[in-house]
Structure 1
Amino acid sequence: MHVDHTQPLEYSSGQGRLNIYGFWVFLGAEIMLFATLFTVFFVLENRTGSGPNGAEIFEIAPVLAETFILLTSSFVIGLGIHAMRIGNKKAMMTFFAITLVLGLAFLGLEIDEFVTYIHEGATLQTSAFTAALMTTLGTHGAHVTFGLFWGISIIMQVKKRGLTPETANKSFIFSLYWHFLDVVWIFIFSFIYLKGMM
């Protein structure tokens, strides 16, 4: 395997560059998935039937907390990638671990939010609005959950094998995925929550 030492570690092999390109293609498909969910939500958001609407169930405090936690995790994983690029394995693993703890905290708040909605009568079966809301939030939450398991496997590989072109490539691709989840959340925060509260 030819390694180009003029490139960052994650881009240093031809296979690594192909993997990153392939992952961008995958993210294109993910963008289409979330674009479809948002479209369905916007079509159905006023179809509340006898159930509550967004203004009745959305609360700003937990949503701001979720947003702050997820944005912070995105910043921290950026620090992890920087540490990886300067060859500091311990700092990189620490930043990745902090990212996952923040992801877990986000998930805990989201689950608590779901439980609150259900207690307030907003379930998948209540109305078209609540079904679209739960599906969109649930899909994002499922992606975060998958990300937690993926992140743990990345940390374990780096711990075992060190910082190689392969582990750096996997770590960088994981960071792209995590940033993507953040971008999706910003859209959820802006166009579902804030719009719904107005």
Structure 2
Amino acid sequence: MAYSGNHAVASEAHSSHHADEGHHDQEALRTMGFWIFLITDCILFGTLFATFVVLNGNTAGGPAGAELFEMPGVIAETFILLTSSFTSGLAVLAMNRGDRKGLISWLAVTVVLGAAFISLEISEFVHLVHEGAAISTSAYWSAFYTLVGTHGLHVSVGLVWMLAIMIQLGRHGISSVTRRKVNVVSLYWHFLDVVWIFVFTIVYLLEVM
């Protein structure tokens, strides 16, 4: 009977070990899937940047970016997004300390900053359209709205993603699953920050210099 009991305990421990390994493998696969997604996004943005550079100056006699860009607003957008990247890093640090409240708080700050960035971008688009620079005005403006708008769409997706993670953290706390999700969304957010630096430099700064 003792042997049977020990055998049952050993079998249960063995099954639990395999379950943990399976869970770990699933999390690793999901993380790898994110990296594949990020690589495809790099290709996407690389294509959009190349298109913008090729079409730069093709304004069809309409207004150029240098005439309409309001750089104080663009600089404010850049500062806000850079700050949100910093706060998302603070969220990861809070998670690594096991501070769920701090983690959710810093994610909330990041969401607020990201929403402010999107609001400024929408205001910029409205201003440009009002000044006669719509997406159909010329090839230049088509490339501009496609590139900058695609980045803005990615930021909007990131905001929804963070809100969903905050809800999960409130319900389930910090676990291996939520830890992976926070790490992944933070990497995604830093990626968008890097893309915006290229947008700011190539689309705006070089245009007005």
TM-score interval, normalised by the smaller of the two chains: over 0.9
The unaligned stretches of length 5 or more in structure 2 are: 1-18
Aligned counterparts of 1:175 and 1:15: Cα–Cα separation in 2: 20
Q: Which has the larger radius of gyration?
A: 2
Matched, 1:100 2:111: yes
Q: 1:8 maps to which residue?
A: none
Counterpart of 2:20, as a letter, is H
Match of 1:60 among 68, 71, 85: 71
Q: 2:200 maps to which residue?
A: 189
Match of 1:25 among 32, 36, 52: 36
Q: 1:69 maps to which residue?
A: 80
1:20 offset after TM fit, Å?
A: 1.9
1:21 offset after TM fit, Å?
A: 2.2
Counterpart of 1:63, as a letter, is V
What are the equivalent positions in structure 2 for 1:161-176 lying under 5 Å apart?
161-176=172-187
Q: Aligned-pair RMSD on alpha carbons?
A: 1.2
Q: 1:133 maps to which residue?
A: 144
Counterpart of 1:181, as a letter, is L
SS at match of 1:121: coil
SS at match of 1:2: helix
Deviation string 1:116-148 (CA, Å, 9 cap, x unpaired) is 000111001111001100111111111111111
Deviation string 1:123-182 (CA, Å, 9 cap, x unpaired) is 011110011001111111111111111110000001000000001111111111111111
1:86 offset after TM fit, Å?
A: 1.0
1:19 offset after TM fit, Å?
A: 2.0
What are the equivalent positions in structure 2 for 1:140-179 lying under 5 Å apart?
140-179=151-190
Counterpart of 2:86, as a letter, is F
Counterpart of 1:65, as a letter, is A
Counterpart of 2:84, as a letter, is S
Match of 2:97 among 63, 86, 105: 86
Deviation string 1:84-137 (CA, Å, 9 cap, x unpaired) is 011000000000000000000000000000000001110011110011001111
TM-score by length of structure 1 reads 0.93
The unaligned stretches of length 5 or more in structure 1 are: 4-11
SS at match of 1:13: helix
TM-score by length of structure 2 reads 0.88
